[in-house]
Amino acid sequence: METTTQDAKPEQSTEDTASWPALPFDAWAATQETLHMWTQIVGKIRLKLSPPENHFWQSALYVTPRGLTTSPMAYGDRTFEIQFDFVDHNLVIPISDGTTRYMALYPRAVADFYRELMAILRMNGFDVKINPLPQEVPNPIRCDIDTVHDAYDAEYARRFGQVLAQSDQVFKTFRGRFAGKRSPVHFWWGACDLAVTRFSGRRAPERPGADRVQRESYSHECSSVGFWPGNAAAPTPVYYAYFAPTPPGFAEASVRPSSAYYSQEMGEFFLNYDDVRSAADPRATLLDFLQSAYDAGADLGGWDRDALDWKPVR
């Protein structure tokens, strides 16, 4: 096994080992902001090397039992993958020639992370150039010069990975209930959220003021649900559900559980993560939220549910 830095394996805290661990944003805000920038770097590498897909699906990352991954990317006649391991706290790069490279995850500046990762790729014959300016964040700092974000709390990184893994399984169950076009369950590194999207099959009206990415992403009617860990402006981890375009009456719809609420500002239903993790059955509670929001919006929007809702063979 070849490594570029010594593997980091800090001791795990026993403070919160529940299946749905506590993830108070204030406790890990600096780590979340740093991780967000690290995922932007890795996500931009995937975007650079992946063939185009509708709605920019070629740019997203995917959940693994240990964190996040790009999935295999081709470079010439070889493939490689970049994996965030939030259990042993390494960035792992398996290569199709049988080698694997490792890069330790520990408190380090985004610029340092960027330089080492790019150096590892070049040393292995992968000359990848990306735009180092982060997307979808206020006051972005180029990743190759960012020395502001430098935190990494291993315990909270582990918890974040665990929340993603639990959410991913519920989202996949929900995804499987739909027979129409739907996205994979994927992690959007721009907004730092895990999401899955369903489509009615109909074209959507053009969004006023939409940029190139938004025009493509919302070119067809869709229903999207996801998990977002929060940020400095809204420091509450939440699950969300929305339709684009929003059907009339959606804001007044009855969505379960009773703690779910609608934001007029965002045009979405939200359910706080803590309401899910504290429920007697977190998975059932989350699935009920996803399904009831979809039921309400699809009915109000006139979706062809007989054709789109999958009916399992019994």
User: Residue 108: pLDDT band by 50, 70, 90 thresholds?
Assistant: very high
Chain segment 121-159, per-residue pLDDT in tens: 999 999 999 999 999 999 999 999 999 999 999 999 999
Q: In Å, how far are 118, 180, 185, 293 from 226, measured between CA atoms?
A: 31, 18, 9, 12
- The residue whose two tokens read 């992370």 is 113
How confident is the model over 74-101, as a mean pLDDT?
Answer: 98
Chain segment 66-75, per-residue pLDDT in tens: 999 999 999 9
Supply the pLDDT for residue 312: 75
How confident is the model over 197-201, as a mean pLDDT?
Answer: 97
- Say which residue, 203 or 15, is predicted with more confidence: 203
Measuring CA to CA, which residue among 239, 153, 226 is closest to residue 190? Answer: 226
How confident is the model over 101-112, as a mean pLDDT?
Answer: 98
Supply the pLDDT for residue 13: 39
Measuring CA to CA, which residue among 79, 108, 60, 85 is closest to residue 3? Answer: 85
User: Residue 208: pLDDT band by 50, 70, 90 thresholds?
Assistant: confident
User: Residue 79: pLDDT band by 50, 70, 90 thresholds?
Assistant: very high
How confident is the model over 280-307, as a mean pLDDT?
Answer: 98
How confident is the model over 289-298, as a mean pLDDT?
Answer: 98
Supply the pLDDT for residue 155: 98
How confident is the model over 236-260, as a mean pLDDT?
Answer: 98
User: Residue 17: pLDDT band by 50, 70, 90 thresholds?
Assistant: very low
How confident is the model over 196-209, as a mean pLDDT?
Answer: 91
Does the pLDDT at position 260 exceed 70? yes
Token readout for 81 is 């993958």
> In percent, how much of the chain has pLDDT > 90?
87
Does the pLDDT at position 43 exceed 70? yes
Supply the pLDDT for residue 109: 98
Supply the pLDDT for residue 218: 82
Reported pTM: 0.92
What is the C-alpha end-to-end distance of the chain, expressed in Å?
48
Does the pLDDT at position 257 exceed 80? yes
Supply the pLDDT for residue 93: 98
Print burial letters for 77-108: b (CB count within 10 Å at least 16), e (below 16).
Answer: eeebbbbbbbbbbbbbbbbeeeeebbbbbeeb
108 vs 233: CA distance, rounded Å: 24
Supply the pLDDT for residue 2: 38
Chain segment 162-187, per-residue pLDDT in tens: 999 999 999 999 999 999 999 999 99
Supply the pLDDT for residue 215: 82
- Maximum pairwise Cα distance, the chain: 58
Supply the pLDDT for residue 314: 63
